[in-house]
Amino acid sequence: MTHDGPGDAGDGQRPLRIGIVTDGLKETGDGRIANGGVGVYIAELVAALLRVDSRNEYTLLRCGGGGLPLYRDPRLRSAIVPWTPVRRWTRWLDLPYARLVRRLGLDVVHHPNQFGGLGLPAPVREVATLHDLGPVQHPEWHRPPTVLRYRLLHRRALARADAVIVDAAATRDELVAAGLVESARVTVVPLGVAPRFRPAAGGDLARPGLPTPYVLSLGVLEPRKNVAALFEAVRLLRERGTRVGLVVAGHGGWRWRDPRRDPRFAGLLDGTVVLRDVPDDELPALYAGAAAVAYPSLGEGFGLPVLEALACGVPVVASTRVPAAGLFPDLVLRAEPDAPAQLADALHRALHDAELRRRVAERASQVARDYSWDRTALETLAVYRRAAASPARESAAEPGGRPALAES
């Protein structure tokens, strides 16, 4: 790879060998990504790195699987370790990858879902992306294995990382205030929005049978997304005379309870649709067909649907705990997630404020341009470069630095 692209203009530095751990990508079996934000982050970041950087060499590390088209891209090396029960659990320590990292001579290994690095040999530099502190701050929102993994490995993994990437400044501030990472090692790199998310002429619906007009809620179906509060807000809107449908879309998550089964919302059954596992290529039209997008989450590291909705020219109502909403104070209406009446008021304005709707439509292309995945990739590449050039550091969790491990 010799071409100087936007992210690697001739700087006199040798090309890097970069490994990206892709265990966070879950496959559906038909070539699609099965999970939410983390999976999108990994897939879009890798694709964007290939667009902006044709100089450095990338290897995807994974334990088992490997059926996604991404792993067959000729511009990448794929190092897939056969899946075994032992490797299933030790992959969070990177033990299955120790031999590969040594044999491939990797300079930097990126853990896009934070965990790893505990079993990698020196002198590889390690970059970790932490999306949020939810499993530590609110364990009740997450699966027990996730909570246990954070409790056992969270602090140690952060201590070992040469560089830490976060999606939002709020997460950086929480990490530094908690004494988990010094500020010099943390870089804020916002997520991006793919070019397919753009205003659609006529707002063509992704599929027939959806109510008109409708409010869209998109995300993993789990308690943290606070969909019940959105149902209550729509119920209040209807009581006030605003007839609007509700479309909830996402992959099935942990402890999901369909609000349509709640007697309080019996009156919402007409005009309420829950869509599971919507294909990625249908999402832009689903956004564009919405009168507004609601994201009342109880806690987020970023809030990718906010970007995607704005890029499609659709007004957004978001929780005050969604960092992405704070990037667009003149475009996104905010409400407390535990105040359905506030959500209802904000949704009413999103549906009826002509000036707000005009402003959102006019700024759609700017949002997509300013927050592209290519930008995310370029800023991430800069972190790789800094980590590779940094001197070997002694881990706070392991005095004396990282011992070189024997090959397994």
User: What pLDDT is attached to residue 408?
Assistant: 27
Other C-beta atoms closer than 10 Å to the C-beta of 148 total 13
What does each C-alpha distance from 52 to 34, 125, 136, 381 come to in angstroms? 26, 22, 35, 9
Give 165-222 pLDDT, tens digit per residue.
999 999 999 999 999 999 999 999 999 999 999 997 544 555 778 999 999 999 888 8
- In angstroms, the CA 215 to CA 316 distance is 10
Domain annotation for the chain: domains and CATH numbers: 17-192+373-389 (3.40.50.2000), 201-370 (3.40.50.2000)
pLDDT higher at 33 or 290: 290
pLDDT confidence of residue 1: 35
Per-residue DSSP letters for 243-309? Answer: --EEEEEE-B-TT---GGGSGGGGGGSTTEEEEES--GGGHHHHHHT-SEEEE--S--SS-HHHHHH
Give the C-alpha distances (Å, rounded to integers) separating 349 from 296, 315, 333, 342, 360.
16, 10, 9, 11, 13
How far apart, in whole angstroms, are the C-alpha atoms of residue 218 and residue 220?
7
The alpha helices in 164-270, defined as continuous H runs, are: 169-177, 227-239
Question: Whole-angstrom Cα distance, residue 195 to residue 312?
Answer: 10
Q: How confident is the model at residue 47 (pLDDT cuts 50, 70, 90)?
A: very high
Q: Is 78 helix (H, G, I), strand (E, B) or coil?
A: strand
Nearest by Cα to 377 from 37, 58, 2? 58
SS3 34: coil
Residue 147 near residue 153 (C-beta atoms within 8 A):
no
Helix-helix angle 304-311:354-370, to 10 degrees: 110
The first and second tokens of residue 173, run together, are: 């501030």
Say which range, 79-83, 86-90, 367-371, has the weakest mean pLDDT: 86-90
Residue-wise pLDDT for 82-127, tens only, equals 888 877 777 777 778 888 898 999 999 999 988 776 678 778 999 9
Give the mean pLDDT of 239-256. 88
Which position has the higher pLDDT, 282 or 353? Answer: 353
Cβ atoms of 276 and 221 closer than 8 Å? yes
Contact yes or no for 365/174 (Cβ under 8 A): no
Q: What is the pLDDT of residue 291?
A: 96
Burial class (CB in 10 A: 0-12, 13-18, 19+), 226: buried
Both tokens of 284, joined, read 């832009």
Sequence-separated (6 or more) residues with CB below 8 Å from residue 277 = 28, 34, 251, 252
Query: In this predicted model, what pLDDT tens digit does every residue of 372-401 receive, in sequence order?
Result: 999 999 999 999 999 999 887 654 444 334
- Predicted model pTM: 0.89
* Percent of the chain scoring above 90 in pLDDT: 60
The C-alpha atoms of residue 117 and residue 120 are separated, in whole angstroms, by 5
12: exposed, middle or buried (C-beta count within 10 Å: 0-12, 13-18, 19+)?
exposed
Please name every residue paired with 122 in a beta bridge, in sequence order, or none if there are none: none
Angle between helices 37-52 and 304-311 (to 10 degrees): 60
Question: Tell me, what's the pLDDT at 347?
Answer: 98
Task: Classify 385 as helix, strand or coil.
Answer: helix
Q: Which contiguous run of DSSP H or E holds residue 157?
A: helix 144-160
Q: Quote the pLDDT of residue 2.
A: 34
- Whole-angstrom CA distances from 156 to 47, 91, 93, 225, 389 are 30, 15, 10, 29, 22
> Which pLDDT does position 12 carry in this prediction?
57
Cα separation, 146 vs 204, whole angstroms:
39
Answer for the pair 188, 166: CB distance below 8 angstroms, yes or no.
Answer: yes
C-beta neighbour count of 37 within 10 angstroms: 20
Q: Evaluate if residue 268 carries a pLDDT over 50.
A: yes
Write down how long the chain is: 408
